[in-house]
Amino acid sequence: METKIYDASTIDEAAELLKAGDLIAFPTETVYGLGAIASNDEAVKNVYKVKGRPSDNPLIVHVSDREIAKYVAFVPQQAEILMEAFWPGPLTLIFPMKEGIFAPTVTAGHNTVALRMPDQEQTLELIRKTGFPLVGPSANTSGKPSPTTAQHVLHDLSGKIAGILDGGETQIGLESTVLDLTNAVGPIILRPGAITEAQLEPVIGKLAANAGTANETEAPKAPGMKYQHYSPTQPVILIDGTTADWKAAIEECHDQGKEIGILASEEKLTAHKEAVRATFSLGPKADVTVASQRLYAGLRYLDEQPVDVILVEAYDPNGLGKAFMNRMEKAASAKYPKK
């Protein structure tokens, strides 16, 4: 199968392929999604197959407007407020599912469904022209760093999907915040993202506490809760320490004969770039927005370099930094200093 690149002038063709049950990757403001029409169970099953995604890991459905009552059992008042405040945008909301609307495979056996309206006009137009919402998990091999360019999608899925709608590099670079509105204890963030707790609480009040994980026997209610994610082929070590800790980690890798790649702030790269084989900048240390936007591109770049291990700088786990650290803690095989 040839994977064709589409743009704004050829969206009609991409939409026709989706209607026919083919898979088309599309850009969002967060990462690229792997699209299939959400009412076609065979197409949705193919999304799982192409990605190698576990069958109990539910999919997020992407809609083109806020008129969602036809897709869910009911729309809570909190959801109306949240959609007005944050849609289109990087916020996924979990609703009670309405029977017979979406393909059974979409929800992975749950009686809930996750919806979001992406802030990407080309993709909103693609959904409108397709005539039905699209599933859109990250358009990559399951478990690997999510794609933030069409070229990343091609790297993982060339020859496996019909096409890619190229919208350039994504702006945010981390997957959406997932907020569960169906829990009896109140709204719960199941996956942190660019819409933070500090932004949500002034709009709908205090959120309930949640660990954001699922154990080995539970089916995850949202993506990113149970399985290892975001990992390149090379092992990742998350460095959360002093300059002395960085020097010690580099020396330990050298003692083991390992070539090192560093994914870190400009400040860290300046201090250590002479001691390693390859580097990728996350921008100024003070700007976690830039670091988050560059994270997956950096992991992918270093994975293509002649290195044996990738050292990644930790960030303050507050605000957007919480989402950054959530992804890195899932990607890392070890932390330094060891605790």
Q: Which residues are annotated as a binding site for ATP?
A: 53, 57, 112, 138, 146, 191, 230
Residue among 218, 162, 219 at smallest CA distance from 46: 162
What are the distances in angstroms from CA 317 to CA 22, 179, 191, 288, 328? 39, 18, 14, 10, 11
Q: For 201, how many CA atoms within 13 A lie in the half-sphere containing its CB?
A: 9
DSSP states along 154-214? HHHHTTTSSEEE---S-SS-SPPEEEE---TT--EEEE--SS-HHHHHHHH-PPBP-----
Instruction: Find out whether 322 and 203 touch, Cβ atoms under 8 Å.
Output: no
- Where is the binding site, in residues? 30, 53, 57, 62, 112, 116, 138, 146, 176, 191, 230
CB-based contacts of 153: which residues, under 8 Å, 6+ apart?
A: 25, 32, 139, 140, 147, 164
Q: Return the DSSP state at 72.
A: B
Instruction: Find out whether 174 and 295 touch, Cβ atoms under 8 Å.
Output: yes
List 138's β-bridge partners, or say none.
Answer: 33
Residue 292 tokens, joined = 């988050």
The enclosing H or E element of 62 equals strand 60-62
Residue 83 tokens, joined = 């959609």
- Where is the binding site for L-threonine, in residues? 30, 62, 116, 176
Residue 39 tokens, joined = 């009412």
The enclosing H or E element of 35 equals strand 33-37
Q: What is the distance between the alpha carbons of residues 304 and 286, in angstroms, rounded to a whole number? A: 27
